[in-house]
Amino acid sequence: MAFKCHSNQCKIAAFDVVILAVATLLCFSHSAVSDPRISEVGLYCGTHRASPSGNYVPVFTKEMGRLQELVSKNNWGTHSEEPSSTSPIYGLAQCFQDLSNIDCLQCFAASRTKLPRCVPSVSGHIYLDGCFLRYDNYSFYSEDTDPLRDTVNCTTQYGGVAGEAEVVFGKSVGKVVENVVRVAVNEGRGFAVGEGEGVYALAQCWKTVGEKGCGDCLKKAGNEVRGCLPKKEGRALNSGCYLRYSTVKFYNQGGEHGDGDDSSRKRTIITAVSVLAAVVVVLSLLVSYVAFTKKRKKKDFIEIPSYLKNSSLNYKYETLEKATDYFSTPRKIGQGGAGSVFKGTLPNGKDVAVKRLIFNNRQWVDDFFNEVNLISGINHKNLVKLLGCSIEGPESLIVYEYLPNKSLDHFIFEKDKTRILKWKQRFEIIVGIAEGLAYLHGGSEIRIIHRDIKSSNVLLDENLNPKIADFGLARCFGADKTHLSTGIAGTL
């Protein structure tokens, strides 16, 4: 969890910071304009977990370290750890062949910081736009396709308007995809890029699948990404390969031969190792301090209630990531003190609002559970409906019903108003807010004092009916208790 640090999780987090420190150093020492393509496009975590009595985390960390050494030398590698005390770990890391060594190291570092979300699951793999990283408890290296795990990632934007332009775009995509698949299988040793008529594509097989496996995987991937049409971008994320098309040129020319100065690279790596040693010392002290603090303040930690873990309200973090296009900027619909809000579209087509909360202290944790517990138990036409939450990702998320007209402040305070509220509409909004507050104060089984009523916390549905939102600062009181308090709350 983002707000609770077990000793094993601290070890993984410490190693993550080391990797990021090296990646940052490499980034600043690399003078050429480059793009390591570290956007996450797919993450899968297995359902089987390692035995809690084993020593899985140190073995996992060791495996990732060995893979890093191989990636530093070759831009890819496989390695396995088979300890007797816990599950074996087989690992594969590979950067796409158009990435330089420096960009590859940055991409691997990014994937390495994200994959521990899966631990203590004994399997997991992650796709970034420039590299792939997987670990499992069996030797999976020759797998080319997997009908249970192979997925497609399609953008939400369209590549052509309806009609003839859409047909032309579809033909262009089909032609370029077919070309890169053919070149990768027959001529490119598992890799190819291509372009034509405003469409760009990249095909990459993992070096462990062999020629036949590569061909089978990419042919399947080609059929899969065509299913994204007429969307302007699509990615096939298969067990043995990756295939992407886009209307934007996203790959590098020259690729694996982009680093011409070997001596400069060596100097960079030597410097990185020196910084790494210093960071390890600092992090060792940090981990010791965290362990000491945990021992002293063990009572301060909050366990996640089992009823919430097993509740139907609990969404998978990966589901909400995909629903919001990985929390992309175009999907952002609001920003407040409690976090950012994004519009999401669930696999069943339903639109939702996802509030993204990053906890950094005890108070944040209290607010999160307070909001979930309060709103899930109430139901009123003038209160925003809580649909669920995610509690097991790197940050906690709350899922609400989506209201298309956003918040009231857009209608009464924005300079460029798209719609002027009539007096009758204003009156009905005021009455609706009052009814919602009346319900909170005495209409439900518990009394709730919101303490932060303002126009940005009043949302409007398609008919301009008001709904009170954001109960992060709400407090629950029994019937015999007052709402008065001396603590400061709400918005100044």
Domain boundaries, the chain: 1-141+261-301, 149-252, 306-477
Please give the residue that has the higher pLDDT: either 118 or 473.
Answer: 118
Inter-residue contact 102 to 268 (CB < 8 Å) = yes
> In this predicted model, what pLDDT tens digit does every residue of 54-110 receive, in sequence order?
678 888 888 998 999 999 999 999 999 988 778 899 999 999 999 999 999 999 988
pLDDT of residue 386: 83
pLDDT of residue 17: 47
pLDDT of residue 334: 80
Inter-residue contact 196 to 175 (CB < 8 Å) = yes
Give the model's confidence band at 166: pLDDT under 50 very low, under 70 low, under 90 confident, else very high. confident
Is it the case that residue 429 has pLDDT exceeding 60?
Answer: yes
pLDDT of residue 443: 82
Is it the case that residue 424 has pLDDT exceeding 90?
Answer: yes
How many CB atoms are closer than 10 A to CB 477? 14
Q: Which CATH class is domain 1-141+261-301?
A: alpha beta
Q: What does pLDDT average to over the chain?
A: 78
pLDDT of residue 21: 47
Is it the case that residue 183 has pLDDT exceeding 80?
Answer: yes
Is it the case that residue 407 has pLDDT exceeding 80?
Answer: yes
Is it the case that residue 255 has pLDDT exceeding 50?
Answer: no
Which of 22-36, 152-166, 397-411, 474-488 has the highest average model confidence (pLDDT)?
Answer: 397-411
How many CB atoms are closer than 10 A to CB 407? 24
For 293-312, what is the mean pLDDT?
49
Closest CA to 325 of 86, 156, 96: 156
Tokens matching residue 176 = 């370029």
Tokens matching residue 106 = 């940055």
pLDDT of residue 394: 66
Domain 306-477 architecture: Orthogonal Bundle (1.10)
d(CA 43, CA 286): 29
What's the distance, Cα to Cα, between the start and end of the chain in Å? Answer: 31
Q: pTM here? A: 0.52
d(CA 444, CA 375): 11
d(CA 82, CA 88): 4
pLDDT of residue 253: 74
pLDDT of residue 367: 58
Give the model's confidence band at 418: pLDDT under 50 very low, under 70 low, under 90 confident, else very high. low
Closest CA to 400 of 455, 348, 459, 326: 459
For 445, half-sphere exposure in the C-beta direction (CA atoms, 13 angstrom radius) is 6
Sheet harboring 151-154: ordered strands across? 151-154, 233-237, 241-246, 199-205, 191-196
Range with lowest mean pLDDT among 26-40, 145-159, 374-388, 473-487: 473-487
Closest CA to 11 of 62, 70, 86: 62
d(CA 430, CA 297): 46
3-state secondary structure the chain: CCCCCCHHHHHHHHHHHHHHHHHHHHHHHCCCCCCCCCCEEEEEECCCECCCCCCHHHHHHHHHHHHHHHHHHHCEEEEEECCCCCCCEEEEEEECCCCCHHHHHHHHHHHHHHHHHHCCECCEEEEECCEEEEEECCCCCCCCCCCCCCEEEECCCECCCCCHHHHHHHHHHHHHHHHHHHHHHHCCCCEEEEEECCEEEEEEECCCCHHHHHHHHHHHHHHHHHCCCCECEEEEECCCEEEEEECCCCCCCCHHHCCCCHHHHHHHHHHHHHHHHHHHHHHHHHHHHHHHHHHHCHHHCCCCCHHHHCCCCECCHHHHHHHCCCCCHHHEEEEECCEEEEEEECCCCCEEEEEEECCCCHHHHHHHHHHHHHHHCCCCCCECCEEEEECCCCCEEEEEECCCCCECHHHHCCCCCCCCCCHHHHHHHHHHHHHHHHHHHHHCCCEEECCCCCHHHEEECCCCCEEECCCCCCEEECCCCCCCCCCCCCCC
Range with lowest mean pLDDT among 25-39, 247-261, 439-453: 25-39
Is it the case that residue 482 has pLDDT exceeding 60?
Answer: no
Which of 144-153, 248-257, 273-282 has the highest average model confidence (pLDDT)?
Answer: 144-153
> In this predicted model, what pLDDT tens digit does every residue of 120-148 receive, in sequence order?
889 999 999 999 999 999 999 999 999 88
**Peptide bond before 120: cis, by omega within 30 degrees of 0?**
yes
Q: Give the rounded percent of residues in the chain with a pLDDT score beyond 70.
A: 69
pLDDT of residue 287: 57
Which residues on neighbouring strands pair with residue 243, listed in sequence order?
203, 236
Is it the case that residue 428 has pLDDT exceeding 60?
Answer: yes
- Residues tagged active-site: 452
> Distances in Å between the alpha carbon of 169 and those of 179, 228, 243, 372?
16, 12, 18, 45
Range with lowest mean pLDDT among 4-13, 134-143, 436-445: 4-13
Please give the residue that has the higher pLDDT: either 205 or 20.
Answer: 205
How many CB atoms are closer than 10 A to CB 285? 10
pLDDT of residue 160: 59
Please give the residue that has the higher pLDDT: either 441 or 243.
Answer: 243
pLDDT of residue 7: 44
Same fold, 1-141+261-301 and 306-477: no
Please give the residue that has the higher pLDDT: either 129 or 489.
Answer: 129
d(CA 361, CA 338): 13
Label the pairing between strands 131-136 and 151-154: unpaired
Domain 149-252 architecture: 2-Layer Sandwich (3.30)
Ramachandran region, residue 349 (left: φ > 0; alpha: ψ -120 to 50; beta: rest): left
Is it the case that residue 286 has pLDDT exceeding 80?
Answer: no
How many CB atoms are closer than 10 A to CB 87? 21
